[in-house]
Chain A
């Protein structure tokens, strides 16, 4: 079963100015995809469509077995929360919660994710993931006291807890230096493999490409000619 399947999708922020038109896009379950394209080409917009935050004007957006265009907006939100993990470029965390609370939040909100944890308790699972990401020492710290690299690792933990079937990362490494980019990416790919999650990774940086088995250029799949 494909993890993501888009067909004849048209999306526009403003009326009569279509930004994306995708005839077909298929991402298989378990694939690791590198998504690239110039700035403003619509990478984040495409991720928004896949995550169900944005609504396609036309076409079919089938993600993890559900056609998002046929779901109500709150059903899309539930689907995203329960089945997907999302990592931003930066500021991935709720500033007034501790590291532990940030990681736990999606399990508190979505019973499905709570059910999929492998440890016997949520605390055990948080500890397992945290030690996997070298975060054991920071669990009770406020997130504002963490370095950018540490924050991004907490973001991984938050995204992958409860084994979501799809992990989406939107330029998560662009705020990190080269060494830490490497280790971040290695960790991300490892934990996604462990959870058997499909991974869609967006970056400008083509040097990271080699780690991915599939590369998709947004400009190439987009039928709208940008001006």
Chain B
């Protein structure tokens, strides 16, 4: 057996070019398969990590997907707000550990402005257990203080102390600007690779102050604006918010509370479990993953076929070699084994190179990928799917090797000692 292994090894070494090309094509397919799988897992992990430790997301009565989209991803607008009284009711509910209120409606250069309170900085979690951190500055204290996500800071070149004017509505070029009440950046948030990065956070009071002199959704006439300096917190009464996040005390509480909110008499509300809705949303986006996996599967088939062709075309040249081996006393079965060993060696080396290349590349790109796309590549290591791929490729290599091996076996028997 050891002799066979040495023979297989020397034989492959003597056909360096075909061998390395075959190894390369198999390695490439393994690289693709594993790469796609890792990125898919990373993307899923990163995606479901957009929001962590939140048991319920609550908004006015409506679909669960739109609620998740506007409350967590800042996409779309709530069709209705919910009253602050309802929020207070559930905020003080005994089953509730903490809540984070969100109110949205304004924007700045296309970035969402989200009004919230201190709970956001205290309790908001993403990627399992990561909290909001400050790259610079601190939480907003005054009415016209704002903190900005890292992307906002980077793209617009803002820093602590910058003055920003918010626009009413969400259009990039808004006609209605709150020019009379500019905000001051007091904090820049650390990078999260979640939608938090592209949002501007103000206080609920700040949002209320922006619209204090508005009447029925229209801005005050010229000269009738209430100057920012004259607004005091005591004068501000928060009436509505867009959504809020809830952390309950236990799993059972989550389900009970969800039902209680959904059947709340005083106001029609919708409570969703974000993990479930995130999963739903991910499944909607899952086609890309299937397509990519199919493509890399096809590449694998091509790689294995290349090996089959290489081994098969070498067969005729190797008839003499087989006859010599037979003369030396090799059994036809050993010649079969020799050929299968060769294909197995090729695929083993291909798998090894492919895995090494895949993980090497992932290691190199993991920092930029995590920073730019929020895909935590290294959070998922050697998954069962990767080991499955490795085994399948090895097995397929060995099995495909049987095709030329059977031919060599039969040649060995038929040619005997007379091969030309």
Nearest CB on B from A101, distance (A): 8
- Whether A73 pairs with B331 at a CB distance below 8 angstroms is yes
Query: Chain B contact residues (Cβ within 8 angstroms of A): what range?
Result: 20 to 34
Q: Which of B11, B13, B328, B333 contacts A81 (CB 8 A)?
A: B328
Interface 0/1 of B330-362, CB less than 8 Å to A: 111100000000000000000000000000000
Stretch touching chain B among A104-112, A122-130, A193-201, A215-223: A104-112
DSSP majority for the B interface? Answer: helix
Please pick, from A54, A78, A97, the residue contacting B329 in the complex, using a CB distance under 8 A: A78
Question: Nearest Cβ in chain A — how far from B127, in angstroms?
Answer: 54
Residues B416 and A48 in contact, CB atoms below 8 Å apart: yes
Check A53 against B324 for contact (C-beta < 8 Å): no
Report if B392 contacts A (CB, 8 A). Answer: no
The answer on a CB contact under 8 Å between A86 and B327 is: yes
State whether the Cβ of B384 lies closer than 8 Å to any Cβ in chain A: no
Residues of B within 8 A of A92 (CB): 324
- Inter-chain contact B417/A44, CB cutoff 8 Å: yes
Interface of A: prevailing SS: helix
Report the nearest A residue to B13, measured CB to CB. Answer: A96
A95 contacts chain B at the CB level, 8 A cutoff: yes
A51 within 8 A of B: yes
Question: Is B109 on the interface with A (CB-CB < 8 A)?
Answer: no
CB-CB < 8 A to A82: which residues of B? 329
Whether A105 contacts B328 by the Cβ 8 Å rule is: yes
Contacts of B218 in A (CB 8 A): none
- Contact: A109 with B324, CB < 8 Å? no
A53 touches B417 (CB 8 A): yes
Per the 8 Å Cβ criterion, residues 369-420 of B in contact with A are 416-418
In the bound complex, how far is the Cα of B331 from the Cα of A97, in angstroms? 19
Task: Report the tally of A-B residue pairs with Cβ distances under 8 A.
Answer: 69
Interface flag for A93 (CB, 8 Å): yes
A155 to chain B, nearest CB (A): 9
* B-facing residues in A84-101 (Cβ within 8 Å): 86, 88, 91-97, 101
Identify the closest chain A residue to B320 (Cβ): A91
Considering the complex, which residues of chain B in the window 148-198 have a beta carbon less than 8 Å from any beta carbon of chain A?
Answer: none
| B279 interface residue per 8 A CB criterion | no
Known A-B contacts A80-B327, A82-B329; A88 and B10 likewise in contact (beta carbons under 8 Å): no
B313 in contact (CB, < 8 A): no
Inter-subunit contact B329/A170 (CB<8 Å): no
Report the nearest B residue to A47, measured CB to CB: B417
A81 CA / B332 CA spacing, docked (Å): 13
How many angstroms from the CA of A69 to the CA of B135 in the assembled complex? 88
Q: Interface code A59-87, partner B: CB below 8 Å = 1, 0 otherwise?
A: 00000000000000110011111100010
Given A48-B417, A48-B418, the answer on whether A96 and B330 have CB atoms closer than 8 Å is: no
10 contacts between A and B (CB under 8 A): A74-B333, A79-B329, A91-B324, A92-B324, A94-B325, A96-B14, A96-B15, A97-B7, A97-B10, A109-B329
